[in-house]
Amino acid sequence: MTLAGAVPSDAAKARLQALAIARSGRPVPVNNLLTVDPSLPANIGVRLIDLTSDAFDPGSSKVDAQQSVQLNQTVSLMSGFPTATLVVVGHGDGTANDPAALATDRAEAVAAYLDSKGVDPNRLAYRSVDAAGLPALDDGTSAALTGRVELLLFGLLGS
């Protein structure tokens, strides 16, 4: 697992590493490339990209049993941070006539699943990757996200 980007403090850097390991559900080596920039706000968003998560079936937005197991880890994370908010960002695939609509449907399905497991819907939002306005990823990472969702978490790092 690689952590990259910037956080507001050394404590936030250590906390994010611990959260990433906890969310993975298994011991994993971490390449922590986070830099500390004290000018960043404590509520900066964290972009969680898990390339080991199960992808949706081609053309589908149905959350399957394996995805449910992984999403339950996110439910636990959200329970531990009652003021955190989450934006689910969906990625389409080449099988759909309208990949952006499929991406939105996938993000909505994940948000609905999290809601059904007790995450307050006021803490959830969803959109397609095209509508999210996120910084571009390298081609390999973008291709690996096909059929998956990524999570943007706010309020995890504290002050």
Q: Residue 73 — pLDDT band, cuts 50, 70, 90?
A: confident
Q: pLDDT tens for residues 82-130?
A: 889 999 999 888 777 888 899 999 999 999 999 999 999 999 999 988 7
* Cβ-based neighbour number of residue 127 at 10 Å: 20
| Nearest to 89, CA basis, from 147, 27, 39 | 147
Q: Going by DSSP bridges, is the β-strand pair 6-7/35-36 parallel, antiparallel, or unpaired?
A: parallel
Q: Residue 158 — pLDDT band, cuts 50, 70, 90?
A: low
Q: Residue 38 — pLDDT band, cuts 50, 70, 90?
A: very high
| Distances from the Cα of 25 to the Cα of 72, 95, 136, 141, angstroms | 11, 31, 28, 22
DSSP 8-state assignment for residue 54: P
| Distances from the Cα of 108 to the Cα of 9, 19, 81, angstroms | 33, 24, 22
Q: Taking 70 as the threshold, does the pLDDT of residue 51 lie above it?
A: no
| Nearest to 60, CA basis, from 121, 119, 108, 118 | 108
Q: What is the pLDDT of residue 135?
A: 59
May I ask the CATH architecture of the domain 42-154? 2-Layer Sandwich (3.30)
Domain ranges of the chain: 42-154
Task: Report the percentage of the chain scoring pLDDT > 70.
Answer: 86
Average model confidence (pLDDT) for the chain?
Answer: 84
Strand blocks (E) in the chain: 2-3, 6-7, 31-32, 35-36, 46-48, 85-90, 124-128, 149-154
Handedness of CA 18, 107, 44, 82 (dihedral sign): negative
